[in-house]
Amino acid sequence: MTARERIAGNVAGYVDDRTGAAKWMKKNLTKVFPDHWSFLLGEICLYSFVILLLSGTFLTFWFDPSMREVIYEGSYEPLQGLEMSAAYASTLDISFEVRGGLLMRQIHHWAALIFMVGIVVHLMRVYFTGAFRKPREFNWIIGVGLLTLGIVEGFLGYSLPDDLLSGTGIRIAEAIIQALPVVGSYLAFFAFGGAFPGVAFIPRIYTVHVLLLPGIFLALITVHLMLVWYQKHTQFPGPGRTEKNVVGYPLMPVYMAKAGGFFFIVFGVTAFLGAVASINPIWLYGPYTPGQVSAGSQPDWYMGWLDGLVRMAPPLETVTFGYTISWNILIPGLILPGIMFTGLALYPFIESWATGDKREHHLLDRPRNAPTRTAIGAMALTFTLVSLINGGNDIIATTFDLTINQMMWFSRIAIIVLPPLAYVITKRLCLSLQRADRDLVLHGRETGRLVRMPNGEFTEIHEPISPEKAWLLTSHEQLAPLELPEYDGAGVRRPAAIKNKIRNRISRSMATAVPKATETERKELEGHH
Amino acid sequence: MSNEIELIKDPGLPAHVHRRADTDPKAAARAERQVAILFMLSALGTLLLIVSYLFIPEDIFFFIPVMGNTNAHQLGLGMGMAIALFCIGAGLIHWAKTLMPDEEVIAQRHEFKSDDEDRKDFVKTVKEGAASAGLGRRPLIKRTLGAALGLSAISPVLLLGDLGPLPGNQLKTTTWKKGTRLVTDPGDRPLRPSDLEVGAVAQTLPEIAPGEHRSLNDIAKDAVLLIRLRPEEFNLDAERLSWTHEGIIAFSKICSHMGCAVALYEQTTKHLLCPCHQSTFDVTRAAKVIFGPAARPLPQLAITVDAEGYLVAQAPFNEPVGPSFWERSA
């Protein structure tokens, strides 16, 4: 035994004597994780969150979250002598006076964008592969919560510098609060400590941005990861993989090295972006004043869809009994996002209700094998994408020489027409892919070799696919639709008839599929040849 | 032949294929060297960061295609950090992929559901616990506790009361009064009609006493745009026409939709456009909304000239400026 081994043994013994951790650690250090590139998406979110904590802490050392008016005397000449808030002035100082400050600001902003992209793409992976199914519904809801908080946290973050662009964003947020029926103006005055913009808002959102929300994030991320750990990761179907096992690599050492290495890679790429790609150059925008705005004002991308919805809303406002309701703000700013996020959070429950499937699932679906789910996802993405595009309608219009009116009318029509179209096309595509899979299993792979038969007929040689591939293409389950009774034994409509009818219909749609190839069919075909 | 459908069978986990480094000691040594080189590159990255921090002055700019004018100090720091971190990651992953065991392991899953026995015991424990506390038997305690907890929720809400004053009249009023002069922003210079040529636009604010400080809260309500057209270009009713002066018309610059500054004026079409959500207002028709999400015209400020010939407000705004709110028309 070397000296080093002896010391390690002593330390481990010391800790175990006091905690009994050895048993738990032994089990968990050999824990198996399945490998797939798409499982790294969640890791990207986790690592960018750590980068956000580190770079954010750095920024707090110099940032002064105050709306006190100061005269700028820093080294950036175009703004010298201008009146501005201490928040804006200190952000300029971080950018120009603190060595590495601009780098950290840019790393922080890029990490936030990567965090949000990571969350959205991770969510898409989980959705389209059905990873949210029992027993992982809790984690799905936590994930939706993290997405929502991420949007809020990001918005508060880019609002803090109090530049002209972010102040305009805050103005819009204030208008949304103010538009709430009955309590709107009161809530707005409470949030801003009086009339807009006041002097209280930046210090208040600073506390929320650096303390309250990161605390909630930490708690939710911890639970999210503990559940992944405890429930074991899902895996893609394939030879040797079942609902009852996990095939992959042990945590120690392979996963530790890979995951640890990946953290450094994400940090390295973020630092690279911070080094070469300018982001949110607040010195170009100038300090916030409510009487000014710059053309082409755009929020960060994860707010863009919301802005796009607000932009395309029809000019609808009603006054009843002397009280004003701004539908043009409430519908796109609160009601639609409310429906979108509630639907997202409830989706696992809706699907299991519709299919009647209450079993545990640890094998992922290939998206084509769940055509209705995939189509619903494509529909939701199309809706969000059209909104996002409309959020940049002014930029698109000037770039492509269109008028704002053309852009806006395109979006207003597209937001209604394109999502259902995406649903239909995606579903058809999935079924076609299923048909292709079936063909592949039954008739084999096209080799491209043409052979002329003695009778003059030309045929292409098909080669059978490997047993592994054949298994991959046929291992999925095909659920039968629900057939809930609408009439009882005596032919009388049951009380739950309408509910059952709806459920039957949805479940029939969910169960649409091209029957998968079977060994029996393969053998029959062989008999023919 | 039976009628039962036979499914395609799981061929089981494919046989493990060894990597070159597993069998060839030379390949393993090469992989080891590659990992070490990556870690050394990382160290060079840190060195670049240190050199940039200490020795590259902050005011050196040079041109890089695509990126444009680039600050050497900032680029050195960032690239050093990026290389240092990325190469550690690349080294670790290369190590894991070439030299650490790559044989897949199979672990078993277990259903999460507890045994029925355990579930029953759990329910029993909860019931017994509740019973021994006597919650069911002592309704007085239950009710008073419920009431106390409910009431105690009032205190945090109440204590947040000082977050802000009540809106009162503030959303409905501005600084503009009868006779307030319109002064330029920036500059605080009073304006005569002759200062504006036909087609010109000016951003104005109400005049304040010399030395007095103008708060952003006031600007958020008071900002006014002056636009001069030829009088015959107006398409206004008699009252609104009387609010203009020699073709000069004044509107609140705060968008009636969400409060952005309506800052874009198209001289040829005489349209005002809000850059935030593209609501478009027709200046010739008292800022009527002709496109976009805004539901109301921009409030018009009635203007005239005072005895010295300077532009002044005839009266305060006759409606609240800025975005809508519940009590707006009340």
Residue A477 lies in a domain: no
Q: How far apart are CA B319 and CA B172, in angstroms?
A: 7
**Residue A142 confidence (pLDDT):** 98
Beta-sheet strands, E only, within A182-289: 245-250
> With an 8 Å Cβ cutoff, are B77 and A326 in contact?
no
Beta carbons within 8 Å of A469's beta carbon, 6+ residues apart = A440
Which value does ipTM take for this structure? Answer: 0.92
As for how many domains chain A has, the answer is 1
| CATH code at position A136 | 1.20.810.10
> With an 8 Å Cβ cutoff, are A293 and B263 in contact?
yes
**Residue B211 confidence (pLDDT):** 83
B172 touches chain A (CB under 8 A): no
- The residues that bridge with A318 in the sheet, in sequence order, are A325
Distance from CA of A13 to the nearest CA of B (A): 27
Residue A385 lies in a domain: no
A237, A238, A247, A315, A363 from A241: Cα distances, Å: 6, 5, 6, 55, 8
Fold of domain B182-313: Rieske Iron-sulfur Protein (2.102.10)
Residues in chain B closer than 8 A to A324 (CB atoms):
324-329
Smallest Cβ distance to B323: which of A175, A195, A269? Answer: A175
Size of interface A-B (CB pairs under 8 A): 327
Residue A418 lies in a domain: no
Q: How far apart are CA A258 and CA B92, in angstroms?
A: 7
Residue A110 lies in a domain: yes
Residue of A nearest to B157 (CA): A190
Beta carbons within 8 Å of B303's beta carbon, 6+ residues apart = B182, B226, B243, B244, B245, B248, B249, B250, B311, B312, B313, B314
Query: What is the number of residues in chain A?
Result: 529
Q: How far apart are CA B9 and CA A203, in angstroms?
A: 64
By the 8 A CB rule, do B197 and B227 touch?
no
Give the pairing of strands B105-108 and B280-282.
unpaired
Residue A259 lies in a domain: yes
Smallest Cβ distance to B108: which of A102, A244, A294? Answer: A244
Residue A380 lies in a domain: no
Question: For chain B, percent helix, then strand, then coil, each to nearest 5?
Answer: 40, 15, 45
Kindly report the backbone phi and psi dihedral angles of residue A4, in degrees, each rounded to the nearest multiple of 5, phi listed first. -65, -45
- The residues that bridge with B205 in the sheet, in sequence order, are B183
**Residue B21 confidence (pLDDT):** 87
Distance from CA of B60 to the nearest CA of A (A): 13
Distance from CA of A453 to the nearest CA of B (A): 31
Give the strands of the sheet with B224-228, arranged side by side.
B182-184, B201-206, B224-228, B248-252, B300-301
- Taking only the tens place, the pLDDT of each residue in A13-43 is 998 999 888 888 888 888 899 999 999 999 9
Residues of chain B numbered 96-125 and touching chain A (CB < 8 Å): 96-97, 100-102, 104-109, 111-112
Q: At what angle do helices A301-312 and A137-159 cross, to 10 degrees?
A: 80
B196, B199, B252, B271, B280 from B285: Cα distances, Å: 20, 16, 15, 10, 12
> With an 8 Å Cβ cutoff, are A172 and B79 in contact?
no
Q: How far apart are CA B73 and CA B56, in angstroms?
A: 5
Name residues of chain A where pLDDT drops below 70. Answer: 1, 528-529
Residues of chain B numbered 126-155 and touching chain A (CB < 8 Å): none
> With an 8 Å Cβ cutoff, are A240 and B108 in contact?
no
Residue of A nearest to B223 (CA): A291
Residue of A nearest to B260 (CA): A168
Closest CA to A243 of A355, A350, A135, A138: A135
Q: For residue A56, give both structure tokens.
A: 């954010």
Closest CA to B326 of A194, A181, A317: A181
**Residues spanned by the domain of A40:** 31-365
Q: How far apart are CA A308 and CA A385, in angstroms?
A: 10
> With an 8 Å Cβ cutoff, are B330 and A244 in contact?
no
Smallest Cβ distance to B104: which of A192, A249, A316? Answer: A249
B207 touches chain A (CB under 8 A): no
What letters, b where the CB count within 10 A reaches 16 and e where it falls short, cover A248-273? bbbbebbbebbbbbbbbbbbbbbbbb
**Residue B252 confidence (pLDDT):** 96
Smallest Cβ distance to B81: which of A102, A271, A470? Answer: A271
Query: What is the number of residues in chain B?
Result: 330
Closest CA to B13 of A39, A234, A441, A242: A242
Helix ranges restricted to H, A236-335: 256-276, 282-285, 301-312, 327-330
Beta-sheet strands, E only, within A334-425: none
Distance from CA of A490 to the nearest CA of B (A): 35
Residues of chain B numbered 258-317 and touching chain A (CB < 8 Å): 258-261, 263-264, 273, 275-280, 289, 291-296
Q: How far apart are CA A365 and CA A131, in angstroms?
A: 8
Residue A72 lies in a domain: yes
> With an 8 Å Cβ cutoff, are B165 and A194 in contact?
yes
Q: How far apart are CA B286 and CA A312, in angstroms?
A: 23
Q: How far is CA A9 from the centre of its chain?
A: 44
B21 touches chain A (CB under 8 A): no
What is the mean pLDDT for each group of 10 consecutive residues in chain B (330 residues)? 77 88 92 97 97 92 86 94 98 94 89 89 91 83 93 91 91 93 91 93 92 90 95 93 94 95 92 93 95 95 94 95 91
Closest CA to A101 of B53, B82, B48, B88: B53
